[in-house]
Structure 1
Amino acid sequence: MIKSVSLEGKRIIVTGASTGIGAAAAEIMGSLGAKVLVAARSEDKLKAVADKVTKAGGEGRYLAADMGSEADIAALAEKAKALWGGVDGVFANAGVSGPAAPMTEYSLDAYDDVMNVNLKSMFILIKAVLPGMIEQGSGSIVCTGSLTSKLGAPMTPAYVMSKHAVLGLVRATAAEVAKHNIRVNCLIPGLINTPLLEPLAEHVADGDMKATLNILKAMVPQGRVGEPEEAGWLAAFLLSDAAGYINAQSISADGGMLGIMRS
């Protein structure tokens, strides 16, 4: 049977949704018929994203939440339950890059901040939504990893550690819940034109984002930096029934960076 990509009637939480991949994915999900609860810290930006979800054809709702706060994450899961009676999908996309510093100078406070948002928040959110998914016998979870889920990188030890661990979280969770018809996958974005590239610009080209993008695109086999929508579509697909036999995987939207050596 041929399937199209549809999220009609699906109830989905998207974190890190005020900008970048999260915002793009939420709007795409709305265009595919989803009910989307978006979360991040900035209420004004979230409201705008929720409005775009609705205008695209879905139902957009929002909750300002700090993904470093266990209470806020619990409130997010509770709001989805109050709105729609449960959750069919989660795009756990919230993340921070943290400071750039060598291991010997990297502070424990910075380490804790990065690990709390990039890893612990996903763990808590997944724990919150799994009982309902198990009860209904279905669900899909997509966690945002990074090229550094599979590669090392200097000067960002906490970020690299957190993104390696995200992939471990995905595999561990999938191993437990696949029998309940729940899928858990890791989206690995490559170099995507989002605000997360801005700190990198300070080190690559003295804050000049245009120059930074020109330098970065030389690293990509396709010869360009990706756009948020290109990763957002992959997230939407993985949450849809069209991806019903894709589970415990790490799937890249990276212009070929992980699969092709650039000469």
Structure 2
Amino acid sequence: MDWSGRVALVTGAGSGIGRATAEGFAQVGARVAVVDRDEDAGRATLEAIGAAGGEAIYIAADVADEQSVAAAVAETVRRFGRLDAAHNNAGISPDTGTTVDCTRVLWDQIFAVNVTGVWLCMKYEIEAMRASGGGAIVNTGSVSSLRAAPQLPAYVASKHALIGLTKVTALEYAAENIRVNIVCPGVIETPMLMKKAAEGFFSVDDYVQSSVPMARAGQPEEIASAVIWACSDSASYLTGATLSVDGGMVIA
């Protein structure tokens, strides 16, 4: 792939899947807007891209805040002149307990980031892509977009909602050369996953052996590859699709 002259924006780019995607876009020649509310993490990604010879900018933004999202997209266009691809990856998964135990505060917080945040990003990304003649968006769902997981009612509901949001947006803008897809990772070795494991939420090894047919956890770069492909010209007829990158979890 040659992304020379093209521009990609990645949210939640400070670590895990977002960082791998931001670095992957830079490796194929894109100029990258590294968007994360954690400045230290975002700048670490920025430095890694620069050290590898790529071109990027860091933008601090909270995807749950509309003004922040609008400013991040506007700054990307101001600095790079256009927007061709976006990976809306920022998301949270705090422990909530059962449906009864989940508090309204946690429910609203999870939906504000995982659903409203993605909607806000697409709202402003699409406007920028229209000015560039089109583009491609990939939202980050989860294996929990396609199956249930106990003790995670708000997270599962939010990730299910993203499939519907992705499909309707893909339908609305297909004729304007804007493609919208969703990638659904399975068990991926990210800081978020390892933090949950360290807190005793579950054993990664046990979960992998019992739930993943390929019998291993995935790497962030494996999700990044799928995202970059889905945004590329090689996937020019792909829109409204749900890409399960999960080692076979949803077919088990």
TM tier relative to shorter chain: over 0.9
Pick from 89, 92, 95 the counterpart of residue 88 of structure 2.
Answer: 92
Are 2:67 and 1:36 equivalent residues in the alignment? no
Following the alignment from structure 1 to structure 2, what is the Cα–Cα distance between the partners of residues 112 and 254?
A: 27
Q: Is the 8 A contact 2:169 2:180 kept in 1?
A: yes
Q: How many residues are paired up? A: 250
TM-score w.r.t. structure 2 length?
A: 0.95
Q: Could you tell me which amino acid in structure 2 is paired with residue 134 of structure 1?
A: R
Q: Give the alignment of 1:1-263 within 5 angstroms.
A: 5-197=1-193, 198-205=195-202, 212-218=203-209, 219-259=211-251, 261=252
Tell me, what secondary structure is at the counterpart of 2:33?
strand
Distance 1:32 1:163 in 2: 29
Q: Distance in 2 between matches of 1:101 and 1:203?
A: 14
CA contact (8 A) 2:82 2:132 kept: no
Give the Cα separation in 2 of the matches to 1:24 and 1:18: 9
Q: What CA deviation, in whole Å up to 9, does each residue of 1:118-162 have, x standing for no partner? A: 010110111112123223321000000001111111111110111
On the 8 A contact 1:29/1:58 being kept in 2, the answer is: no
> Do 1:52 and 1:60's aligned partners in 2 also have CA atoms closer than 8 Å?
no
| Counterparts of 2:181 and 2:72, CA distance in 1 | 21
State the Cα distance separating 1:58 from its structure 2 match.
2.8
- The 8 Å contact of residues 6 and 240 in structure 1, kept in 2 or not, is answered as no
The unaligned stretches of length 5 or more in structure 2 are: none
CA RMSD, 1 decimal:
1.4
Whole-Å separation in 2 of the counterparts to 1:89 and 1:49: 18
Contact 2:134/2:178, CA 8 A, preserved across alignment: yes
Q: Is the 8 A contact 1:98 1:158 kept in 2?
A: no
SS of structure 2 residue aligned to 1:30: helix
Q: Percent identity?
A: 38
Q: Residues of 2 paired with 1:225 and 1:237: CA distance? A: 21
Q: Which moved more, 1:91-100 or 1:47-56?
A: 47-56
* 1:200 to partner: Cα distance: 4.6
Unaligned runs of 5+ in 1: 206-211
- Paired with 1:55 and 1:87, the residues of 2 have a C-alpha distance of 23
The separation in 1 between residues aligned to 2:45 and 2:231, in whole angstroms, is 19
